[in-house]
Amino acid sequence: MEHTNGGDTSASAQAHSNIALAKYWGKRDAALNIPAVGSISITLDALHTDTRVTFDAGLTKDELWLDGREQQVGRAGLVLDLVRERAGIDLRARVVSENNFPTGAGLASSASGFAALAVAATAAAGIEATPRELSVLARRGSASAARSIFGGYAELHAGESTDGNDSFAEPLLDGDAWPLSVVVAITDPGQKAVSSTVGMQATSASSPFYPAWVESAPADLDRMRAAILAHDLETVGELAEHSCLALHSLMLTTRPALIYWNAATMSAIHAVRGLRAGGLPVYFTIDAGPQVKALCLPADAAAVASALTLVPGVQETRTSVLGPAAHLVAVP
Amino acid sequence: MEHTNGGDTSASAQAHSNIALAKYWGKRDAALNIPAVGSISITLDALHTDTRVTFDAGLTKDELWLDGREQQVGRAGLVLDLVRERAGIDLRARVVSENNFPTGAGLASSASGFAALAVAATAAAGIEATPRELSVLARRGSASAARSIFGGYAELHAGESTDGNDSFAEPLLDGDAWPLSVVVAITDPGQKAVSSTVGMQATSASSPFYPAWVESAPADLDRMRAAILAHDLETVGELAEHSCLALHSLMLTTRPALIYWNAATMSAIHAVRGLRAGGLPVYFTIDAGPQVKALCLPADAAAVASALTLVPGVQETRTSVLGPAAHLVAVP
């Protein structure tokens, strides 16, 4: 936190994207942004958001700048309101955010973005918040952001309370305790046509499989947690692929259908399965977008990246180790 | 039926492939091959099987020749047994069958194949059988074959009886009453790795969405039947796409996953959606395989075929109008 002249206060934070190995889709409370099921993720070192928040007496409304362009404030305004309420301040804020990866393309930019916002805004407002409180705050912006407060392996609980205060993420396993790598194959850096928030609402309203998903998710979550704690890559990978395919099945059976995959997505899926058939332990997962993330051992990451780079339609690969928790950084 | 020297009897039949617009997947009785849900299909003029059956006193076992190669007799032997039982004969048979399209590649060669077998075998055995009886007989070989006994639009009932005798297909609408066209985009003519029969068993045993599918299918079937009788292409098309995507969602969530799509499958899906976004009424459906079938008005078929021919990975397109019922043909 930095107090500048004129009563302005600024803070900057960095948070890393995460990908869920056991995914959630759908909300049990849309207004409070509480997920319908729990989820387990890994935080990615290579993809991050840097966000600076400045509460400025000279502003008449909140401003959001993302990758150099002013945006609708949207849910960032809600997070700022919660921070202002807790801090007892009434200043408007300027939020300046930069992603080092494509935004809104299924690479969890909302996860890293809202986690960085929660950390920077609370610090700029002079609030002391625990990681769990930061996680609940970030969740109001984007449920997956609750997980990006933490590094390594994290679990977001769906919780049961009506206020959502028991829907928070917490660390499941330190990244150093079981290092894994992820090769992200970018097949289309463009923004997706339907946002996750809109897509989830449509799915819960219209997919005939949605109730079965909500019912079956907790058991898979338990299995995933156990497999991670056991450092069992084969089981983690098989569960991750099933969770991914179940998620996309929900989307495909939404009316109208949400089809996030493209030709290169399919080719990358088959490439990962082909590598595995050849003896290399690598597993795919895909979020609400066309990018394929391949989970593997760090020693195999270069081979996986080489193979995915050769897949027709894959424009770029990024290899990542597991990343750290969201943290404050010195204001430049 | 032709009686030749030596007590041999031969008959030849032609039956056409069909594609389900409201699909079934899974059996309520695996031994009797009774589908778990009903289905509605259109019979395709362009894809057909020609089958000659000869009961031959000189044979010591049944023989099956498909596209010039001898095959395991498999379920064809079961159909022949049922025919022999009803005819009161004990002669072994030679079955010689030719498809004018790739076999076992998700183009319903088992539908046309078993429908042609049922018609040819009963005739060769000298049995009079009603279309409904032929439909039940063909179903024992392949459930979708029950529909290929009929031309135009046909519905296969799941039925309720334990013997499967109320699980038969019947005509829903004559093809001339509402002519439609189908452009089949072949993305991979190879045989699929997992047969439909094996895949269905795996799905019903392991997909968390299978019960919801069985539960939701009848209402969609009712909607599809009404839309066909109303000649409402938009509703038929939307229901067909949903049925297709639900089917593939069941496959994707089977453990291990059944992934029949390839890159060209995805590209063809997007091409169909793109054409539709441009104002052309065209809808996709995909069976257990990577081929995409585009449903459209006959006047638009050439435009659809041109567009799909340009899709990367599409090796060939075949345009079909609605086809006729299975029928006997003169033995050459």
Query: Which helix (DSSP H) or strand (DSSP E) does residue B224 occupy?
Result: helix B210-229
CB contact under 8 Å between A209 and B211, yes or no, is: no
Same-domain pairing of B171 and B199:
no
List Cβ neighbours of A14 (8 Å cut-off, separation of 6 or more). Answer: A48, A49, A50, A51, A116, A326, A327, A329
Is pLDDT above 70 for A6? no
Mutate to test the interface with A, among B216, B253, B283 (most CBs of A within 10 A): B253
**Residue A332, pLDDT score:** 56
* Residue A241 phi, psi (nearest 5): -65, -40
The residue with greater pLDDT, B192 or B31, is B31
Q: Is A331 among the domain residues?
A: no
Is pLDDT above 80 for A51? yes
CA distance A104 to chain B (A): 20
Confidence of residue B263 (pLDDT cuts 50, 70, 90): very high
Q: Which of B105, B291, B70, B86 is nearest to B196 (CA)?
A: B105
**Residue B3, pLDDT score:** 46
The residue with greater pLDDT, A137 or A192, is A137
Same-domain pairing of B291 and B307:
yes
CA distance A181 to chain B (A): 23
Q: Is B332 among the domain residues?
A: no
What CATH number does the domain containing A252 carry?
3.30.70.890
Written as six digits, the tokens of A330 are 């010195």
Confidence of residue A300 (pLDDT cuts 50, 70, 90): very high
B250 beta partners: none
Written as six digits, the tokens of A253 are 């059976």
Calculate mean pLDDT across residues A26-32: 95
Which residues of B lie inside 8 Å of A (Cβ-Cβ)? 208-209, 211-213, 215-216, 238, 241-242, 245-246, 248-250, 252-253, 255-257, 259, 261-267, 269-270, 273, 312-313
Q: How far is CA B157 from the centre of its chain?
A: 14
Residues of B in contact with A270 (CB under 8 A): 259, 262-263
Same-domain pairing of A78 and A114:
yes
**Residue B54, pLDDT score:** 97
Residues of B in contact with A269 (CB under 8 A): 259
The predicted-structure confidence for B269-288, as pLDDT tens digits, reads as follows 999 999 999 999 999 999 99
Same-domain pairing of A243 and A134:
no
Q: Are strands A153-156 and A39-56 parallel, antiparallel or unpaired?
A: antiparallel
Confidence of residue B4 (pLDDT cuts 50, 70, 90): very low
Query: Which helix (DSSP H) or strand (DSSP E) does residue A185 occupy?
Result: strand A181-186
Calculate mean pLDDT across residues A243-261: 98
Confidence of residue A297 (pLDDT cuts 50, 70, 90): very high
Is pLDDT above 50 for B121? yes
Q: Considering only alpha carbons, which residue of chain B is nearest residue A268?
A: B263
Mutate to test the interface with B, among A215, A235, A266 (most CBs of B within 10 A): A266
What number of other Cβ atoms are within 10 A of residue B30's Cβ?
12
**Residue A106, pLDDT score:** 74
List Cβ neighbours of B17 (8 Å cut-off, separation of 6 or more). Answer: B43, B44, B47, B48, B49, B101, B107, B108, B109, B111, B112, B148, B323
CA distance A185 to A318: 7
Q: Considering only alpha carbons, which residue of chain B is nearest residue A266?
A: B263
Boundary-marking domain end, from A153, A177, A201? A177
Same-domain pairing of A261 and A284:
yes
Confidence of residue B191 (pLDDT cuts 50, 70, 90): confident
CB contact under 8 Å between B270 and A259, yes or no, is: yes
CA distance B323 to B46: 7
Q: Is A328 among the domain residues?
A: no
Boundary-marking domain end, from A154, A177, A200? A177
What CATH number does the domain containing A167 carry?
3.30.230.10
Calculate mean pLDDT across residues A227-231: 98
CB contact under 8 Å between A263 and B259, yes or no, is: no
Residues of A in contact with B223 (CB under 8 A): none
What is the residue-averaged pLDDT of chain A? 95
User: Which segment of A215-229, B4-18, B111-125, B290-304 scores lowest on mean pLDDT?
Assistant: B4-18
**Residue A5, pLDDT score:** 41
List Cβ neighbours of A331 (8 Å cut-off, separation of 6 or more). Answer: A2, A10, A11, A12, A52
Same-domain pairing of B125 and B251:
no
Is pLDDT above 90 for B168? yes
Strands, E assignment, chain B: 2-3, 9-22, 27-29, 34-35, 39-56, 63-66, 69-71, 92-99, 153-156, 169-173, 181-186, 282-285, 292-296, 316-321, 327-329
Calculate mean pLDDT across residues A73-100: 97
Mutate to test the interface with A, among B266, B283, B285 (most CBs of A within 10 A): B266
The predicted-structure confidence for B200-230, as pLDDT tens digits, reads as follows 999 999 999 999 999 999 999 999 999 999 9
**Residue B5, pLDDT score:** 41
Q: Is B213 among the domain residues?
A: yes
Residues of A in contact with B270 (CB under 8 A): 259, 262-263
Is pLDDT above 90 for A16? yes
Q: A1-11 as b/e, with b when 16 or more CB fall inside 10 Å?
A: eeeeeeebbbb
Q: Is A59 among the domain residues?
A: yes
CA distance A87 to chain B (A): 46
Same-domain pairing of B215 and B306:
yes
Boundary-marking domain end, from B159, B175, B191? B175
Nearest residue, CB atoms, B249 vs list A252, A256, A263: A252
User: Would you say A305 and A181 are in contact if contact means Cβ atoms under 8 Å apart?
Assistant: no
Structural domain including B199 reads 181-321
Same-domain pairing of A125 and A238:
no
CA distance A237 to chain B (A): 12
CA distance B8 to chain A (A): 50
Same-domain pairing of A47 and A153:
yes
Q: Considering only alpha carbons, which residue of chain A is nearest residue B265?
A: A263
Per DSSP, the three-state class of A182 is strand
Written as six digits, the tokens of A172 are 């499941």
Q: Is B164 among the domain residues?
A: yes
Is pLDDT above 60 for A68? yes
Q: Is A36 among the domain residues?
A: yes
Calculate mean pLDDT across residues A11-22: 97
Is pLDDT above 90 for A174? yes
The predicted-structure confidence for A96-105, as pLDDT tens digits, reads as follows 999 998 877 7
Confidence of residue B7 (pLDDT cuts 50, 70, 90): low
Q: Is A330 among the domain residues?
A: no
Same-domain pairing of A172 and A52:
yes
CA distance A268 to chain B (A): 9
Mutate to test the interface with A, among B25, B192, B223, B242 (most CBs of A within 10 A): B242
**Residue A8, pLDDT score:** 67
Domain count, chain B: 2
Calculate mean pLDDT across residues B258-267: 97
Same-domain pairing of A312 and A187:
yes
Q: Considering only alpha carbons, which residue of chain A is nearest residue B290?
A: A266
Q: B225-253 as b/e, with b when 16 or more CB fall inside 10 Å?
A: bebbeeeebeebbbbbbbbbbbbbbbbbb
Is pLDDT above 70 for B181? yes
Same-domain pairing of B203 and B145:
no
**Residue B192, pLDDT score:** 83
Is the N-terminal amide bond of B256 cis, ω within 30° of 0?
yes
CB pairs under 8 A between A and B: 85
Q: Considering only alpha carbons, which residue of chain B is nearest residue A248?
A: B249
User: Would you say A21 and A239 are in contact if contact means Cβ atoms under 8 Å apart?
Assistant: yes
Calculate mean pLDDT across residues A143-157: 98
CB contact under 8 Å between B212 and A216, yes or no, is: no
Nearest residue, CB atoms, A253 vs list B246, B255, B269: B246
Residues of A in contact with B313 (CB under 8 A): 263
**Residue B17, pLDDT score:** 96
**Residue B6, pLDDT score:** 46
**Residue A90, pLDDT score:** 95
**Residue B218, pLDDT score:** 95
CA distance A16 to chain B (A): 30
Which residues of A lie inside 8 Å of B (Cβ-Cβ)? 208-209, 211-213, 215-216, 238, 241-242, 245-246, 248-250, 252-253, 255-257, 259, 261-267, 269-270, 273, 312-313
Confidence of residue B108 (pLDDT cuts 50, 70, 90): confident
Residues of B in contact with A213 (CB under 8 A): 208-209
**Residue A4, pLDDT score:** 45
CA distance A242 to chain B (A): 6
